[in-house]
Amino acid sequence: MDYRAKLFPVTLLLVLAGCQSQNDRHDELDFKPLKDFAYTPATIAPGTEIELLALSGGKESDEETIYFWQFIGIDKSSGDTVRIISSLISVANSSDPKDKTYTTPMQYDPDKKITTADFYPADSSQKLAAEFGAAGSGDKQLTEDQIKKIMEGKSGRKEVIVINKGMDIFQRNYKTALGVLNFKQQPW
């Protein structure tokens, strides 16, 4: 067995463990409007398996802002290192590809050692899920007016990307895709 193959799982766990501790270290996080984040688009087919290497950490979306987190991983179909920008992760509830539970990336727990997920490009239903999740954070009930604004795409929430300044891997220029990582097992 190649020594790199033996070292990869250890390196992966160290990087992901470092990312977990970054969730609470907001001094090393920067926030930039998503529309101002320059990147080279990646073409990743829906359902492509991604081997996760790092997670940026960040904040939970709230009534004013939807936070997009960064995942760095290996596109298993091409071997390329890619950046996935996402405000949600999901887990499959059954064999039906539409039967998923969505949650914040904040729920991802690297200690569970679940390091692969399938990529799905962002679509309107995921945007709605992120909007409703942010609006309904805490114990607040949504008003009819808030629901109407979300459904019309007029919630007024800022979309912000989390940039982890404390880890070099997030400063590199990887091809990037906007979407959701769907896990086959619950990663939280």
pLDDT (0 to 100) of residue 4 = 44
pLDDT: is 66 or 26 the higher one? Answer: 66
pLDDT (0 to 100) of residue 137 = 57
**Residue 156 phi, psi (nearest 5):** 80, 5
Amino acid at 185: Q
pLDDT (0 to 100) of residue 32 = 96
Q: Which domain holds residue 91?
A: 3-183
* Mean pLDDT along residues 143-163: 79
Confidence class for position 143, pLDDT limits 50, 70, 90: confident
> Does 122 reside within a domain?
yes
> Does 188 reside within a domain?
no
**Residue 182 phi, psi (nearest 5):** -105, 120
When divided into structural domains, the chain yields a total of 1
> Does 83 reside within a domain?
yes
Question: Which residue is associated with the tokens 């405000």?
Answer: 87
pLDDT (0 to 100) of residue 22 = 43
At CA 64, angle to CA 59 and CA 68, rounded to 5? 40
* Mean pLDDT along residues 149-168: 85
Highest average pLDDT, of 37-51, 82-96, 100-114, comes from: 37-51
> Does 96 reside within a domain?
yes
> Does 21 reside within a domain?
yes
pLDDT: is 76 or 150 the higher one? Answer: 76
115 within 8 A of 89, measured Cβ to Cβ = no
> Does 134 reside within a domain?
yes
In terms of Cβ atoms closer than 10 Å to its own Cβ (0-12, 13-18, 19+), residue 49 is middle
